[in-house]
Amino acid sequence: MSKVSVIVPYHKGPSYLEECVKSIENQGLSDLEILIVDDRGGHDVPESVLKAEHVRHIVLEEEFGAKGRQEIPVRPFGVAVARNTGVRYASGDYLYFLDADDYLWGDALARLVKLADEKKAKVVTGNRYSTWFRPISFTFDKAGADTKIDGIVPLQGNTLKNVLNRRFTVQHLLIQKEYYDSMKFEFDVYNTFYSDVPVVARMFAGAAGDMWADGGSIYVWRRRNDPVHMPALCQQKGKWRSGEFIEAYEAACKCLEEDGGPQKAYLLGALNWWLCRFTLRKFPRQIKGKRAVRYTKNLQKIKDEEFGQMNKRFRFLQRMELKCIRRGNYRMAALAGKLVHIWRKKCGIFGKPIQYWRFLDKLVFQKMRIREDWVFVESFFGKSYSDSPKYLYEYLYDKYGDQYRFIWCLNRRTREVKGRPSICRRHSLRYVYYTARAKYFICNTRQPAWFKKRKETVFVETWHGTPLKKLAFDLEDIHAVSQDHKKLFYSQSKEWDYLVSANRFSTDVFERAFCFPREKIIETGYPRNDILYSEHAGRIAEEVKRELGIPKGKRVILYAPTWRDNQFYEKAKYKFTLVLDLERMRREFGNDSVLLLRTHYYIADRLELSGLDDFVYNGSGYGDVSRLYLVSDICITDYSSVFFDFANLKRPLLFFAYDLEDYKEEIRGMYLDMEKELPGPVVQTNDELIDALRHLDEVTEQYRERYERFYDKFCHIDDGNAAERVVQAVFGGR
Ligand code: C2G
């Protein structure tokens, strides 16, 4: 096989680069060079990459600095400079362009080289898929096919159009170096976003007849879920972007007009289709004034028939908008655009009441006076009267009940609530009204995405657990429903005035994972754990047993697992399959014990427990899990933060982590080494779990020291007075 030079422009994201380089090395190509063109200054390329067999590291800073070249004074230099530089260094028979955050699937590149050698082709390519995930989590069913090529076919006609359909890019093109040099291709260094458009147009025009595609060769284009720290080029906002686009479009059209070759019609067709889509996306915010006129002129150059065909592919209002832009009637176009926007964003405007309430909120509630003495409280999205908000509320109510008016968000009425606060359901009209007017907002999850905090509102975020599972910006892949998680998290946490932390460990994690200012974190311990230190703990435990019908004198084994990010029906509705063998547990321990089952509040499944009435007690619908801890003699959990709280009781803990490998590698990742740091054994099968329960005394003894260390690290602040400390900090001891 011939030699290949892979050109990888790199700006940031060392972990992405590592995976990218690994996927190239895995091709099994011996005659290969990987040119990492570093636009970062050469500081953060991982050791493993530098040591990789075929890697050559070129640092642009040194490159241009050494030559004293002032031609491109801006830093970073940009992807075009990186690609041009890579080509200068390349010594292979073929050039291949791959971005540092993307990767190759299987033998993608090896297949292309084989095909190019066989067919003596000038350009070959394959399919492109887009994904949110790392190679370890990649699956075809969760990826989008950007191109749909079947088998090995000549790259011409509709296949060519198909390749250019979504992206006019040089990624995943294997190009004969001789051809590249003969055409004197060069990426436009003054175009940040679209430097490859004219190059690709000329490349395909000139190589017509000598181009092939292999559908089995797959390039994985990785979408970025962290536009805050790691925005991809396409996620970066630049007001000059629409200017650069039209420059690139015109340059590409000019090349094709001069020498389009036999594929000219297809190439122009793909370019025009792209122009139409881009215009619709960026008008009127980025395409306005003189620039709009330039777009109109280019749209007018498209033949009526072709324009009509393309326009048919849009929806009615978009068709109107594009037609108006083409005619130069920008007012009408803007009106149609506005309607498209409303239709897109508020599809439910006639369905979901919250759309109306938000409207009212903006027009009326936000303008009303803030009520200094109103305290709004919410726990787990209004699902229960529980957690730290409950204990903060009860403390405030007992101490300063006469000074404040309290409002609780509760989706179902419950008799557990102390006092007589006003009650409202989440997302109801009253919810919107109270949250707009209350001075204090106490919450243990994230606020609704539509909520806009007023300047005067004091937002107290208690959060809901010491983290074991990685959070927000510490997550690599997001397996939960929405990929907007990080972006949303960032903007929402900016609205928090106080964040309650249970220990130093949580403070450190929150600061990093939430990008949250340390001075706003109050390390007070968890108000929800105050009850665990209550002098009435015994009486409360008896009360809870009565409420749940648990017989006195029986040992209570609590089983409180967490949810799995990748198993869901829809947002906040997760699946859970019970792996714990309840029947066997009953046979083994039914004589003197009962099992208290408590699923996570995200779990939508109702578990099948029939025939187990005398052994399994379902506490999943019980409001306050802290009260359940008090009746439990043993706690079995998995990756739930439940154990950080339960450890305050110093009672035995077991970890039933039947899917540990998947969970720690793929699903979430963790902050602690479960095998080394947890205050109890981690077991993976029912056999192991039953064995640990049978020998509980020995297990407890074995883990005693570790339990103490754990307690000192995570539970040392909790002492029954956390609510008081939070109230002191927030309400100034009023
Ligand atoms: N919880 C519960 N019952 C369960 C699991 C959890 O009542 N079976 C409650 C506990 O109060 C727990 C909280 O929900 O502390 C958070 O649950 P986790 O299982 O830890 O999961 P998650 O909601 O993802 O929160 O920093 C903490 C993390 O954000 C975890």
Q: Is residue 63's pLDDT more than 90?
A: no
Q: Ligand 1 center to residue 619 CA distance, Å?
A: 14
Q: Is residue 343's pLDDT more than 60?
A: yes
Q: Ligand 1 center to residue 572 CA distance, Å?
A: 13
Q: Is residue 268's pLDDT more than 70?
A: yes
pLDDT at 616: 96
615 burial level (CB within 10 Å; 0-12, 13-18, 19+): buried
Among protein residues, the one with the nearest Cα to ligand 1's atom 10 is 642
Atom of ligand 1 nearest to the CA of 467: 26
- Arithmetic mean of pLDDT, 709-729: 97
- Total residues found in the chain within this entry: 734
Q: List residues near ligand 1 (CB under 6 A).
A: 387, 464-465, 467, 469, 471, 560-562, 598-600, 625, 640-642
pLDDT at 724: 97
Atom of ligand 1 nearest to the CA of 599: 8
Q: Please write the tens of the pLDDT for every residue from 277-306.
A: 999 999 998 899 999 999 999 999 999 999
Q: Ligand 1 center to residue 519 CA distance, Å?
A: 25
Give the SS3 label for residue 716.
Answer: coil
Among protein residues, the one with the nearest Cα to ligand 1's atom 4 is 600
Q: Ligand 1 center to residue 408 CA distance, Å?
A: 21
Q: Is residue 65's pLDDT more than 80?
A: no
Q: Ligand 1 center to residue 478 CA distance, Å?
A: 18
Q: Is residue 348's pLDDT more than 70?
A: no
* Mutation pick for ligand 1 pocket among 445, 446, 600, 627 (CB with most ligand atoms within 8 Å): 600
Q: Please write the tens of the pLDDT for every residue from 548-598.
A: 999 999 999 999 999 988 777 777 778 888 999 999 999 999 999 999 999
Question: Averaging pLDDT over each range in 71-80, 161-170, 473-482, 716-725, which range is the top one?
Answer: 716-725
Which tokens in the block code for residue 258? 């001069």
**CA-wise closest residue to 50 among 73, 75, 17:** 17
Q: Is residue 240's pLDDT more than 90?
A: no
pLDDT at 71: 58
- In the chain, the percentage of residues whose pLDDT exceeds 70 is 96
Q: Ligand 1 center to residue 690 CA distance, Å?
A: 24
Asked if the bond preceding 652 is cis, omega within 30° of 0, the reply is no
Contact between 514 and 474 under an 8 Å Cβ cutoff? The reply is no
pLDDT at 547: 95
- Arithmetic mean of pLDDT, 492-519: 97
Q: Ligand 1 center to residue 642 CA distance, Å?
A: 6
- In the chain, the percentage of residues whose pLDDT exceeds 90 is 78
CA–CA dist 694, 654 (Å, integer) = 12
- Arithmetic mean of pLDDT, 205-217: 96
Angle ∠(308,314,318) on CA atoms, nearest 5: 100
Q: Is residue 512's pLDDT more than 90?
A: yes
Among protein residues, the one with the nearest Cα to ligand 1's atom 19 is 640
pLDDT at 346: 64
**CA-wise closest residue to 710 among 625, 619, 645, 640:** 645
Among protein residues, the one with the nearest Cα to ligand 1's atom 13 is 464
Q: Please write the tens of the pLDDT for every residue from 445-490.
A: 999 999 999 999 999 999 999 999 999 999 888 887 678 889 999 9
pLDDT at 655: 98
Among protein residues, the one with the nearest Cα to ligand 1's atom 21 is 640
Average pLDDT, the chain: 92
Q: Ligand 1 center to residue 447 CA distance, Å?
A: 17
Q: Ligand 1 center to residue 480 CA distance, Å?
A: 15
Q: Please write the tens of the pLDDT for every residue from 624-665.
A: 999 999 999 999 999 999 999 999 999 999 999 999 988 877
Q: Please write the tens of the pLDDT for every residue from 676-695.
A: 999 999 999 999 999 999 99
Atom of ligand 1 nearest to the CA of 639: 19
Q: Is residue 316's pLDDT more than 60?
A: yes
Atom of ligand 1 nearest to the CA of 465: 27
pTM of the full structure: 0.86
* Residue 579 vs residues 328, 537, 625, 658: alpha-carbon distances, Å: 64, 32, 21, 8
pLDDT at 575: 86
- Arithmetic mean of pLDDT, 261-273: 93
**CA-wise closest residue to 90 among 7, 8, 13:** 7
Q: How far is CA 355 from the centre of its chain?
A: 25
Q: Ligand 1 center to residue 500 CA distance, Å?
A: 15
Q: Is residue 345's pLDDT more than 70?
A: no
Mean pLDDT lowest for which of 226-230, 384-388, 704-708? 226-230
Among protein residues, the one with the nearest Cα to ligand 1's atom 6 is 600
CA dihedral of 259, 264, 267, 271, whole degrees rounded to 10: 70
Read off the pLDDT band of 56 (50, 70, 90): very high
> Do the strands 123-131 and 211-222 form a parallel or antiparallel pair, or are they unpaired?
parallel
